[in-house]
């Protein structure tokens, strides 16, 4: 194995961490953190790793060899987290793996799923089969790879969940129980995303606060409220470092959505470029909270790196923008003026959307750990087109 070096990547990591820490309220920076910060600064300035040892090791994970690697046995407590992502081949998993690998090194993150990974994913970094319903196998992966952070993305989303309630109940609730127990037993930091779908008709619909009545009417929403409460319970009962963010509908150019109610807001970009015709499954005026994937994943990483002392809750709302299909169409037509639109409502998705908030109040996230979004609707639309046109261009060149 090559000797670890203090690379530009690590300097970059340290700089980013320092600037994040400076952005936090002074009360959140304890004396240990101050010592770490000054050591980090010295490392950045001198370009040399310090004797106390920070995150400079490179682990030798490979997709083919994930267990019993001697390098893991000499790891020290202050080193980079070793991260497992469940359900990693969905809409968000690979994007988050990329972000975490940039931050902590390519081999610090194992992506897992029950599906076969495409070539480009398999060769990009460690991948392993993990069914969250198989408790023993999941525990073995966590133990053998000395996992310290568990990012739990394995799920059945709202629309697909309603079509197969027993499976959704099993994956979303039994799977969560497995993950909670393994995280608690092994002292992991556990992140389980929640959703706007955790609210319901009895919640305030506009500027929905973090704490209010939650009576969702989908198995997906019910399972997410369950996850929020169980995570909070495990935190108080067993000291589990459980964290959750209620994501809005997430929009990304990298992956196709996995059967959620807000999927239309991704589909429109593909249709606008491919056929110039878009069929909306939601009514023109159905406003929902939305977020560009880069904001969502950055929020997640920043939240995970926030010291525990700064957090006043275990589950926070995060928000960026809210729009309806009609408002999105208007913005998309600035780039594709000939786009034709038909509203062909899907009764299942429309019924779900009608019970969800139109906007979220995320002031606690902004106050406690400095959350701030970058993308509004115009920025989202121009970025999506730039990325998708770039991808088409590359595909055409490759053919
Ligand atoms: N995408 C969004 O707009 C959005 C919005 C709010 C919250 N979230 C949350 O973010 C997380 C990731 O969402 P996503 O959009 O990537 O979901 P997705 O549906 O695209 O992906 C889920 C993945 O879970 C995997 N999976 C299913 N059963 C499994 C099992 N038994 N064991 C292991 N993996 C299994 C699937 O193969 C799939 O790859 C989820 O917790 C979701 O609730 C997503």
Beta strand 277-280 pairing with 340-343: parallel
Does residue 375 have its Cβ closer than 6 Å to ligand 1?
A: no
| pLDDT per residue as tens digits for the range 224-245 | 999 999 999 999 999 999 999 9
Does residue 317 have its Cβ closer than 6 Å to ligand 1?
A: no
| pLDDT per residue as tens digits for the range 267-316 | 999 999 999 999 999 999 999 999 999 999 999 999 999 999 999 999 99
Q: Please state the separation of Cα 301 from the chain's center in Å.
A: 8
Would you give the end-to-end CA distance of the chain in angstroms? Answer: 37
Rg of the Cα atoms in the chain:
21
Average pLDDT over residues 43-54: 32
Residue 52 pLDDT > 50, yes or no? no
Residue 146 pLDDT > 90, yes or no? yes
Greater confidence (50 vs 216) lies with 216
Q: How high does pLDDT run on average in the chain?
A: 85
Mutate to test the pocket of ligand 1, among 88, 89, 90, 113 (most ligand atoms within 8 A of CB): 90
What pLDDT was estimated at residue 41? 39
Q: What is the pTM (predicted TM-score) of this model?
A: 0.83
Tokens of 164: 């197969």
Residue 67 pLDDT > 50, yes or no? no
- In sequence order, what are the residues at sequence separation of 6 or more whose Cβ sits closer than 8 angstroms to the Cβ of residue 396? none
User: Which sequence positions are flagged as catalytic?
Assistant: 220
- In angstroms, what is the span from residue 377 Cα to ligand 1's centroid? 24
- In sequence order, what are the residues at sequence separation of 6 or more whose Cβ sits closer than 8 angstroms to the Cβ of residue 39? 50, 52, 54
């Amino acid at each position: 194995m090559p000797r670890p070096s203090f690379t530009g990547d690590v300097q970059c990591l340290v700089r980013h961490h320092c600037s994040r820490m400076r952005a936090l309220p002074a009360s959140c920076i304890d004396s240990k953190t101050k010592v770490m910060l000054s050591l980090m600064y010295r490392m950045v300035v001198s370009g040399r790793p310090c004797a106390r040892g920070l995150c400079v090791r490179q682990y030798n994970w490979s997709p083919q060899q994930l267990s019993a690697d001697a390098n893991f046995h000499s790891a020290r407590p202050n080193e980079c987290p070793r991260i497992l992502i469940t359900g990693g081949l969905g809409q968000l998993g690979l994007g988050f793996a990329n972000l975490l690998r940039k931050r902590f090194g390519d081999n610090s993150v194992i992506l897992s799923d029950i599906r076969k990974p495409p070539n480009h994913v398999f060769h990009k970094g460690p991948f392993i089969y993990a069914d969250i319903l198989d408790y023993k196998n999941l525990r073995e992966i966590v133990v053998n790879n000395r996992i310290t952070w568990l990012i739990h993305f394995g799920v059945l989303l709202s629309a697909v969940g309603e079509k197969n309630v027993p499976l959704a109940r099993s994956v979303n609730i039994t799977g969560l129980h497995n993950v909670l127990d393994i995280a608690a037993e092994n002292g992991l930091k556990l992140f389980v995303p929640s959703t706007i779908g955790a609210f319901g008709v009895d919640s305030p619909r506009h500027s929905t606060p973090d704490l209010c009545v939650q009576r969702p009417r989908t198995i997906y929403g019910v399972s997410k409220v369950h996850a929020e409460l169980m995570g909070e319970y495990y935190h108080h009962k067993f000291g589990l470092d459980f964290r959750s963010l209620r994501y809005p509908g997430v929009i990304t150019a990298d992956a196709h959505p996995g059967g959620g109610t807000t999927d239309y807001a991704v589909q429109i970009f593909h249709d606008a470029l491919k056929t110039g015709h878009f069929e909306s499954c939601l009514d023109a005026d159905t406003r929902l909270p939305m977020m560009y994937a880069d904001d969502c994943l950055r929020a997640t990483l920043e939240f995970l790196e926030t010291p525990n002392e700064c957090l006043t809750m275990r589950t926070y709302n995060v928000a960026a923008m809210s729009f309806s299909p009609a408002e999105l169409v208007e913005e998309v037509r600035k780039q594709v003026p000939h786009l034709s639109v038909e509203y062909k409502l899907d009764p299942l998705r429309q019924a779900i959307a009608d019970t969800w908030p139109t906007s979220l109040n995320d002031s606690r996230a902004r106050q406690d750990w400095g959350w701030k979004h970058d993308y509004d609707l115009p920025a989202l639309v121009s970025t999506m087109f730039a990325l998708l046109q770039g991808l088409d261009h590359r595909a055409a060149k490759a053919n």
